Amino acid sequence: MTASFSFHAATVRYDGRAALGPIDLSIAPGEQVAIIGPSGAGKTSLLRLMNGSLRPSSGEVRLGGRDLARLHRRELRSLRSRIGFVHQSHALVPILRAGQNVIGGILGQRGLCAAARALLWPRREDLEEAHALLERVGIGEKLFQRTDTLSGGQQQRVAIARALFQRPMALLADEPVASVDPARGRALLELMISLARERELTLVTSLHDIDLACSLFPRLVGLRQGRIAFDAPRSEIPPESLRELYDLQGLRGGEVG
């Protein structure tokens, strides 16, 4: 199953101050979308709304037609266990082996004892799957290596493999290449896109690098001060709206800072 997302006048307020929205947006199953915009534009909030870890202050966010705010916590957790989320910091357990971190992807699908057993005394089929996934992301030989001995880019690959281990229906990524050098960042994004294609996953990632987003993603959503500035296929985005997105002069005129 592949996930679709839709936002209906969704807003997020922190301490009464509007941070995001109102947002109207829909993302079809299997689409690959890049959310771009300057820092503080609300990209992370938008992604966190999509897996229900943030509730909209008003409006609604639907995943496959189900209103996330109406789900019971347990249902929300089980839904989240099928959504891969790749963070800017790899958010792995440094003292575990790479394979164990990958198997950690099942923590949302099994109870505490079963998960502990799978992590500490992995079964053969779990290990084999973890190895196959690490192989797919290009670091199969690191299966038994301690995670904190891997480079930043390799750790991000482990995080992607962990997300795939969840057998997800969508892959969300929050600035996944911000702590990797540009060449490796590009390779990582290409990997994520090809994974999304071959596994029919909906892929939504936030990026602050416009050039990367334009050259790799078919659809771009520009966020500026919490609102959607544009939402179009990359070929149809006028260059001036890209310029405006990062126009600091314009920002200073607003009520920011």
What residues make contact with another protein under the rule CB under 8 A?
51, 53, 73-74, 77-85, 87, 89, 91-96, 104-105, 107-109, 111-112, 115-116, 119, 159, 162-163, 166
Sole residue written with tokens 């800017």: 88
**CB-based contacts of 141: which residues, under 8 Å, 6+ apart?**
none
**Shortest Å, Cβ 232 to another protein:** 29
CB of 116 to another protein, least distance (A): 8
Closer CB to another protein, 164 or 210, in the complex: 164
Q: How far apart are CA 165 and CA 157, in angstroms?
A: 12
Please tell me whether the peptide bond between 22 and the residue prior to it is cis, using omega within 30 degrees of 0.
Answer: yes
Does residue 245 contact residue 229 with C-beta atoms inside 8 Å?
yes
User: DSSP assignment, residue 130?
Assistant: H
Tokens of 176: 């996944």
The least CB distance from residue 80 to another protein, in Å, is 4
> Which tokens hold the place of 100?
């164990």
Is 85 or 217 the residue whose CB approaches another protein more closely? 85
In whole angstroms, the minimum distance from the beta carbon of 236 to another protein comes to 33
Q: Which is nearer to another protein, 1 or 116 (CB)?
A: 116
Closer Cβ to another protein, 77 or 243, answer by number: 77
CB count in 10 Å sphere of residue 17: 9
Compute the CA torsion angle 236, 242, 245, 247 (nearest 10 deg): -150
Which ranges constitute the DSSP H helices of the chain?
43-50, 73-80, 98-103, 112-120, 124-136, 152-165, 182-199, 210-216, 239-245, 248-253
Identify which of 20, 3, 14 has the alpha carbon closest to the alpha carbon of residue 221.
20
Structure tokens at 69: 């705010």
To the nearest whole angstrom, how small is the minimum distance from the Cβ of residue 89 to another protein? 5
The nearest distance, CB 107 to another protein, in angstroms, is 4
CB 81 within 8 A of CB 170: no
Q: Based on CB atoms, which residue is closest to another protein, 176 or 222?
A: 176
Minimum CB–partner distance for residue 43 and another protein (Å): 16
Task: Tell me whether residue 173 or residue 228 sits nearer to another protein (CB atom).
Answer: 173
Measured from the CB atom, the residue of 41 and 171 that comes closer to another protein is: 171
